[in-house]
Amino acid sequence: MEKITQNKPKRPIKVIQFGGGVFLRGFFDWMLQKANEAHVYCGNAVIVRSRTNGEDPLKGQNFNYTHLARDAKHNDISLIDSIAYSISANENYDQFLALAENPEADVIVSNTTEAGIVYEKCAFAPDTCPKSFPAKLTALLYRRFEKGLDGMLILPCELIENNGDILKDIVLRHAQEWKLGEAFYDFVKNKCSFRNTLVDRIVSGKPDSDIELGYIDEHINTSEYFHLFVIEGESDERLPFDKIGLNVRFVPSVSLYRTIKVRILNGAHTSMIPYALLCGVETVGECLENGIISEHLKQCLAEIVDSLDIERSETEEYAAKVLERFSNPYIHHRCASIALNSVSKFRVRVLPSILEYEKKYQKAPSRLLFSLSKLIEFYKNGTPNDSPDIMKKMKDATLTQILSNTELWGEDISRFEKEVEMYADTSER
């Protein structure tokens, strides 16, 4: 049996994509492929890799791969050939900056996790690649400005509130601190369109069992068929995904969409996964089959729904849909993959539900605090995957120090110490 086809249609590079993980490949790049095939678009993406060790594994397949999007009603098999190549900004900084000199490249998309859109003070050195994503983006846009080219449509897919606004503010801050001039500041502020977004699709990566394709593909990607891409602002001709029947919506505000999705679906994942991994459960599907973890998840969802001041029928319907989506037999979503950067995820996805529940009912939500206790236990005794700094802080600090650390949570939450300590001492496994 031959390997996946090495041929690739010739298309101009129009998208610069920060992040080449399974999510963007099973969400944005899948949509890019659909738009190319529908002939409403003609363009490929270049991936800017965040991981720089060795060659990109996709290079051996000429950056082609198969994506399976499936549920009980759909079985979509797509050959994705819309990625031109990938590049490491750290290892090939000149080539990275040269991407900005392409006048046809007019869209930037990113998914660097919640920990990626952060301000990190750094000096501007024209020949040195900055560490953070926003600083790299600032340098890229400055090169584009220097070449006299148009601004770009910028779509961060990280699950933080007002992701586009925050990313823009950080870029503008770098522009000021690096003294890049009033004209560049105006270019970023008024010529580049930073959009707040909300993304919703469960992408699980490589399937657990072999799939008969008729060719060999070592990098098959899988997801549920459900997909939702909400983009704040008016429809933009630079990204006509909404013209071909995809669930892409340009709306005045993403706030309500984001709150429901991040608090319920992502909050369900993050409140469940550390506990599941401590119990030795490996996939989301197995979580739903495990009586203890399944009941824990349902209680967490109930407290999350109770915390929201949104039409209850809408949130309960979405929560029920989440359980159905988690049970999709075609999705083998590994708990270890979801556990990446769990502290920053908990801060964004679960802590707001705890705080809103406390404010609403004058008491803390017991099940969500149980989740917090299991998160801490996971970092102390489990197998977390996070930055070395965060893992050290969680591993070595006392419970009081962890809960009072405003860098971890955005505020002091040590008032929950007694409950967290109590739940940490109970064994429900």
Q: What tens digit of pLDDT does each residue of 39-88 get?
A: 999 999 999 997 666 788 899 999 999 999 999 899 999 999 999 999 99
| Protein fold of 255-424 | N-(1-d-carboxylethyl)-l-norvaline Dehydrogenase; domain 2 (1.10.1040)
Show the tokens assigned to 194. Answer: 């930073």
CA distances for 126 relative to 29, 102, 107, 152, 170, angstroms:
31, 19, 23, 21, 19
Q: What is the pLDDT of residue 71?
A: 92
pTM of the model: 0.84
Mean pLDDT over residues 377-401, rounded? 95
* Averaged pLDDT, 98-117: 93
Q: Is the pLDDT of residue 105 over 90?
A: yes
Mean pLDDT of 134-158: 98
Give the neighbor-by-neighbor strand order of the sheet with 107-110. Answer: 83-88, 44-49, 13-18, 107-110, 153-156, 193-194
Residue 276 pLDDT > 70: yes
> What's the CATH number of domain 13-251, 3.40.50.2300, 3.40.50.720, 3.30.70.60, 3.60.21.70?
3.40.50.720
pLDDT above 90: residue 96? yes
So what's the pLDDT on residue 429? 39
**Amino acid (one-letter) located at 417:** E
Q: What is the DSSP string of 214-275?
A: SSB-TT-EEE-S--EEEEESS--TT--GGGTT-SEEEES--HHHHHHIIIIIIHHHHHHHHH
Amino acid identity, position 330: Y
pLDDT tens for each residue of 216-257: 999 999 999 999 999 999 999 999 999 999 999 999 999 999
Same fold, 13-251 and 255-424: no
Place of tokens 């952060």: 118
For residue 313, what pLDDT is reported? Answer: 95
Note the pLDDT of residue 53: 64
Q: Please say if the pLDDT value at position 197 is more than 50.
A: yes
What's the mean per-residue pLDDT of the chain?
A: 94
Whether residue 336 is predicted with pLDDT greater than 80 in this model: the reply is yes
pLDDT at 206: 87
pLDDT band of 420, cuts 50, 70, 90: very high
Q: 3-7, 285-289, 335-339, 416-420: lowest mean pLDDT where?
A: 3-7
Q: Domain-by-domain residue ranges, the chain?
A: 13-251, 255-424
**Residue 305 confidence (pLDDT) above 70:** yes
Please report which confidence band the pLDDT of residue 424 belongs to, taking 50, 70 and 90 as the band edges.
confident
Are residues 46 and 101 in contact, defined by beta-carbon separation less than 8 angstroms? no
Characterize the bridge pairing of strands 44-49 and 13-18: parallel
**pLDDT attached to residue 208:** 74
- Please determine, for residue 428, whether its predicted confidence score (pLDDT) is greater than 50: no
Task: Calculate helix-pair angle for 366-381, 351-361, nearest 10 degrees.
Answer: 150
pLDDT given at position 232: 98
Angle made by CA atoms 218, 221, 226, in degrees to the nearest 5: 165
Query: Do residues 249 and 228 lie in contact, with contact meaning Cβ atoms separated by under 8 Å?
Result: yes
CA torsion, ordered 298, 301, 302, 307, to nearest 10 deg? 170
Instruction: Output the pLDDT for position 116.
Output: 87
Give residue 265's pLDDT.
Answer: 96
For residue 175, CA distances in Å to 90, 196, 202 come to 20, 21, 36
Please state, as a whole number, how many other Cβ atoms lie within 10 Å of the Cβ of residue 214. Answer: 8
Contact indicator for 203, 229 with CB cutoff of 8 Å: no
Given a cut of 70, is residue 426 above it in pLDDT?
no
Quick one: tokens of 190?
Answer: 């008024």
* Token pair 């996790």 in the structure block, residue: 113
pLDDT at 190: 98
Paired tokens of 406: 């405003």
- Token pair for residue 162? 């007002």
Q: Kindly state the average pLDDT of the residues 26-32.
A: 98
